Amino acid sequence: MSGVAAAAPGNGRVNEERIAHIKDRPFIHYPRFAKYLGKMERMLVANDENRKNILIAGVSGNGKSSIGKYFLEANLPISQPDSDADFAPIVYVSLPEDANVGSFAGRILENLWESRKANVNHSERMHIARSMLKALGTKILIIDEFQQLNTGTRRNREALQNTVKEIGEYCNLSVVGIGMPPAVDIILSEPQLNRRFEPLALPQWTFNDESRSLLGAMEDHFELQKKSFLAENDTLARRILLQTDGTLCWIMEFLEMAAIEAINSGKEKIDLKLIDSLDWIRPSKRAAHASRELGIQADEA
DSSP 3: -
Mean pLDDT, rounded, for 71-96: 79
Q: Residue 5: pLDDT band by 50, 70, 90 thresholds?
A: very low
What integer is the mean pLDDT of 264-278? 97
Please give the average per-residue pLDDT across 186-198, as a whole number: 92
Residues 63 and 249: their CA atoms lie apart, in Å, by 7
Starting at the edge strand that comes first in sequence, how are the strands of the sheet with 53-58 ordered? Answer: 90-94, 140-144, 174-179, 53-58, 197-202
What is the pLDDT, as a whole number, of residue 80?
A: 54
Q: What is the pLDDT of residues 22-41, one digit of tens each?
A: 998 777 888 898 999 999 99
- Listed in order, strand segments (DSSP E) in the chain are 53-58, 90-94, 140-144, 174-179, 197-202
Count of Cβ atoms closer than 10 Å to residue 137 Cβ? 15
- Mean pLDDT, residues 221-247: 97
**Per-residue pLDDT at 42:** 94
pLDDT higher than 60, residue 6: no
d(CA 249, CA 28): 11
DSSP state string for 247-294 = -HHHHHHHHHHHHHHHHHHT--S--HHHHHTSS---GGGHHHHHHHHH
Q: Are 261 and 222 in contact (CB under 8 A)?
A: no
Beta bridge partners of 197: 53
Q: For the structural domain made of 46-202, what CATH number should be given? A: 3.40.50.300
pLDDT at 127 over 50: yes
Average pLDDT, the chain: 88
The reported pLDDT for the residue numbered 28 is 82
Q: What gap in Å lies between CA 13 and CA 2, rounded to an integer? A: 17
The confidence score (pLDDT) of residue 301 equals: 42
Name the strand (E) or helix (H) holding 234: helix 234-243
DSSP-derived secondary structure letter, 143:
E
Q: pLDDT digits over 84-120, tens only? A: 557 889 999 999 998 999 999 999 998 887 655 556 6
pLDDT at residue 194 in the model: 92
Task: List, for residues 159-187, the tens digit of each pLDDT value.
Answer: 999 999 999 989 999 999 999 999 999 99
CA distances from 184 to 43, 195, 297 (A): 20, 13, 36
